[in-house]
Structure 1
Amino acid sequence: MRMRMTCVATVATLALAGCASTSPGYGPGYGSTTPAPASGRCYDCGTVVAIETAAASDGKANVAGPVLGGIVGAVAAKELARRNTDSEGRRNVAIAAGAAGGAVAGNAIQNRVEGGRGGYTVHIRMDDGRTTAVHQADLGGIREGSYVRVQNGRAWVY
């Protein structure tokens, strides 16, 4: 019994971990200093070389989150219903409700992780020769050729 619940919890954790982002775009935090390069300019500054507009809906189906969420929800509801009711009809209703709730939750998690789909991808050539790209919802006055600073996964006019 305990082993089954552990397996269900492990499967649910792994399924939801697959929807997580590995790079949320957070910076080093308050009080940190970024070393300046020898040129006297800041380490995280550069010039915008291109801006791409991402459409709000690019036609890709949002499937992985709802499917994984539905599976996890159905398994969890089945386990709970098995222990709490003797009626087969109630178990089936619980499983269907768990699957629907899990699918809704999985869809919401996937949309949150992907950050919508609209916005702008700003390509920047950093002062030290590196290139980077950041995705953000608005430009905030940034144009091609603007000198920007990249902080917390976003470009800011410097």
Structure 2
Amino acid sequence: MRILTCAATTAALALAGCASTSPGYGPGYGSGYGNTAPPAGRCSDCGTVVAIETSAAGGGTNVVGPVLGGIVGAVAAKELARKNTDSEGRRNVAIAAGAAGGAVAGNAIQNRTGANRSGYTIHVRMDDGRTTAVHQADLDGIREGSYVRVQNGRAWAY
């Protein structure tokens, strides 16, 4: 039981390290010049589209995330079990649990990154100098150079 608790704690800490609360903003162009207020008549969450990338889903199931997660989980569990138990059966159970937990975590991380999503990634230089990128299924008339508002993870023609 102690091994499973250690493995679960290790997996939770590993996933917490991958979590991000940032909405995807970077320092962008023009940061540090002191002019962070948007120009008159423009909104604070608006900007200009600087690039649009088209992406297509692979069509099949991508197993890279679960496989790599399973391997990492099994190796971590093996090391924990080696140090914490003398029973071969408990080691095997810990390794299997680590592999399963790692595979689930790897799949969740892969799905969160959107590796298999088709559509468009729209890169926007915000009026205050930040840059952001949003992924959406359609463009709705947006093209490079368009002035857009970014709300709820989507770009809208302004």
TM > 0.5: yes
SS in 1 for 2:143: coil
Which amino acid in 1 is paired with 2:90? R
User: How many Å apart are 1:41 and its aligned residue?
Assistant: 1.4
Say which SS state the counterpart of residue 106 (structure 2) adopts.
helix
**Unmatched runs of 5 consecutive residues or more in structure 2:** 25-36
In the superposition, the TM-score normalised over structure 1's length comes to 0.60
Which residue of structure 2 lines up, in the alignment, with residue 108 of structure 1? 107
Query: C-alpha separation between the residues in 1 aligned to 2:156 and 2:78?
Result: 45
Identical residues among aligned pairs (%): 51
Say what the alpha-carbon RMSD is for the aligned residues: 4.0
Q: Which residue of 2 aligns with 1:31?
A: none
1:139 is displaced (CA, Å) by 2.8
Letter in 2 for 1:157: A
Q: Distance in 1 between matches of 2:91 and 2:73?
A: 18
Residue deviations 1:92-145, cap 9 Å, x none? 5523431331232122221133123434221223334x2523131313412223
| SS of structure 2 residue aligned to 1:139 | coil
For the Cα contact (< 8 Å) 2:126–2:132, is it kept in 1?
no
Is the contact between residue 121 and residue 136 of structure 1 (CA under 8 Å) also seen in structure 2?
Answer: yes
Cα deviation 1:62-121 (Å, max 9, x = unaligned): 465343334456678x59xx6xxx7x4x43552343133123212222113312343422
Relative to 1, partners in 2 of residues 1:15 and 1:98: Cα closer, same or farther, differing over 3 Å? Answer: same
TM-score using structure 2 length = 0.60
Match of 1:98 in 2: 97
Does the Cα contact within 8 Å between 1:65 and 1:110 map onto a contact in 2?
no
Whether contact under 8 Å (1:48, 1:148) holds in the other structure is yes
Pair 1:125–1:95, CA change in 2 (3 A): closer
Aligned residue pair count: 139
Which amino acid is the alignment partner of residue 50 of structure 2? V
Question: Any conservation in 2 of the 1:126–1:132 contact (CA below 8 Å)?
Answer: yes
Higher relative contact order structure (alpha carbons within 8 Å, sequence separation ≥ 6): 2
